[in-house]
A and B are shown apart, each in its own frame.
Chain A
Amino acid sequence: MHIPADRSYTKEHEWIRLDDGVATVGITAFAAEALGDVVFVQLPAVGESVTAGEVCGEIESTKSVSELFAPATGEVVEVNEATVESPELVNSDPYESGWLFRVRTDSVPELLDDAAYAALTQEG
């Protein structure tokens, strides 16, 4: 499974990409595959403060519910309305158009790079 090298990963199978102090957050293809068809995403609101490692939303598939964790601390500056409208984007394009929300942040905690994340997903 393809894992882009231009971003970092969490053990909770989320990805985060930092551009000029704004971090874009999504879930990985591995997570999307494991969830099955995503039918609902509950995202933090714009203006809300989120804390790294804490629950900030939910992702529901037909068969399961997973919590969404904030991978960085900061203020939510944008949510992906396209994904809210069409949650299947999380399955079809998890690394690009299926992103979830953006956080303005000073610091991104120490996370996994693509190789470390690949190793994590292969542990099963």
Chain B
Amino acid sequence: MKTPLHDVHAELGASFTDFAGWQMPVRYTSELAEHRAVREAAGLFDLSHMGEIELTGPGAAAALDHAFVGRLSAVTPGRARYTMLCAPDGGVLDDLVVYRLAEERYLVVANAGNAAVVSRELTARAEGFEAEVTDRSAETALIAVQGPNAAAILGPLTDADLTGLKYYASMPATVSGHELLLARTGYTGEDGFELFLPAAEAPALWRKLAAAGREHGLLPAGLACRDTLRLEAGMPLYGNELGPELTPFHANLGRVVKLDKPGDFVGKVALERAGDPDRVLVGLKGSGRRAPRHGYRVLHGDDAVGEVTSGALSPTLGYPIAMAYVPPALREPGTALSVDIRGRVEPVEVVALPFYQR
């Protein structure tokens, strides 16, 4: 599948990769330059592969409280929340952001690879509630402007009060003549915005943002740097740190599970009984330049005790960083472990997450 911005990426000379069935730009020139631009200036991302599912109606809030582990009914209109969709056994089916647009209107933004599952599950779980589920993924484009200069780039293009738009908030806005939903959210560890708009308008808005951002150091940014940015920020990636065989507790995200919210929700019984997880997600810091990578074994002495979920030579920090699942007894920062990097055992140290904070 191609996003509505595919031709724009091709014009820019992007390298493409398959991601959840989508042809996505992995980099335009250099992923390190794109990574640095987001940390120091700004980056422009096409996230149109993500799923957008709308819930409307007097029962929308109650339906979401039933469908997700969080208490979405408590979210104020105009605000957003990070939450999870769990299976009845407590396993994570997706991690996502839910925007409450109005009293009776929510927008659920799902990972591309899980969009169909989320849409299907929401439809099923909303049954019996006064709520209508509409999958808007095909008609919706998503463009993100991320980085310390994001507000300076968007400011002159809109009448919206950006200063008043808090982190994890959204509002309808007009940007460069395009009516859209403007959200202050992201997946990079930087300040930034996500712009939801009709697919057909995406190329025009992209070009306007790219032009306006030029003097602010904005670069088009691909999925390669998106991954290193989120890793530095300690954010989980579904399929790496999260999956159906893991509960939110494994990933240290128990705070998103609201066991005490009124009513029943899917996965509640299993999550109540889950107890202490047998393995937990930790940060690892290496030395040298060889990075632990997804699937590599984590060792404690000579014993294999866990597995790396994501890793890279951190572009910002200059040393190898990784996330891994290990037994809870080995979770304390300072714990000395090692990783089998293609037959060579390299020492690593458990460190607190995130690796990088703006």
Chain A positions near chain B (C-beta within 8 angstroms): 33-34, 36-37, 39-40, 42, 58, 60, 62-63, 65, 88, 91
Q: Which residues of B contact A60 (CB under 8 A)?
A: 289-291, 313
Bound form: Cα–Cα A40–B318 in Å: 12
A40 contacts B313, C-beta separation under 8 Å: yes
Could you give, for residues 307-341 of chain B, a 1 whenever the CB lies within 8 Å of some chain A CB and a 0 otherwise?
A: 00000110100000000000000000000000000
Bound form: Cα–Cα A42–B226 in Å: 26
Expressed in whole angstroms, the minimum distance between the Cβ of B316 and any Cβ of chain A is 12
B342 contacts A65, C-beta separation under 8 Å: yes
B31 contacts A40, C-beta separation under 8 Å: no
A62 contacts B313, C-beta separation under 8 Å: yes
A37 contacts B291, C-beta separation under 8 Å: no
B342 contacts A33, C-beta separation under 8 Å: no
Interface of A is mostly: mixed
The contact sample of 26 A-B pairs, CB cut-off 8 A, is A36-B15, A36-B26, A36-B27, A36-B30, A36-B31, A37-B30, A39-B32, A39-B313, A40-B289, A40-B313, A42-B290, A58-B342, A60-B289, A60-B290, A60-B291, A60-B313, A62-B32, A62-B224, A62-B313, A63-B31, A63-B224, A63-B312, A65-B293, A65-B342, A88-B32, A91-B30
Contact A37/B32 with A58-B342, A63-B224 known, Cβ cut-off 8 Å: yes
Expressed in whole angstroms, the minimum distance between the Cβ of B284 and any Cβ of chain A is 17
Interface of B is mostly: mixed
Bound form: Cα–Cα A33–B14 in Å: 11
Bound form: Cα–Cα A41–B43 in Å: 28
Q: Is B228 an interface residue (CB 8 A)?
A: yes
Bound form: Cα–Cα A42–B26 in Å: 25
Expressed in whole angstroms, the minimum distance between the Cβ of A27 and any Cβ of chain B is 16
Expressed in whole angstroms, the minimum distance between the Cβ of B344 and any Cβ of chain A is 9
Bound form: Cα–Cα A108–B291 in Å: 34
Bound form: Cα–Cα A46–B93 in Å: 51
Bound form: Cα–Cα A58–B31 in Å: 20
Bound form: Cα–Cα A42–B289 in Å: 10
A42, A62, A88 pick with most chain B CB within 10 angstroms:
A62
Q: Which residues of B contact A33 (CB under 8 A)?
A: 15
Expressed in whole angstroms, the minimum distance between the Cβ of A120 and any Cβ of chain B is 19
Bound form: Cα–Cα A88–B228 in Å: 17
Bound form: Cα–Cα A36–B291 in Å: 15
Q: Which residues of B contact A58 (CB under 8 A)?
A: 342
A39 contacts B224, C-beta separation under 8 Å: no
Could you give, for residues 9-30 of chain B, a 1 whenever the CB lies within 8 Å of some chain A CB and a 0 otherwise?
A: 0000001000000000011001
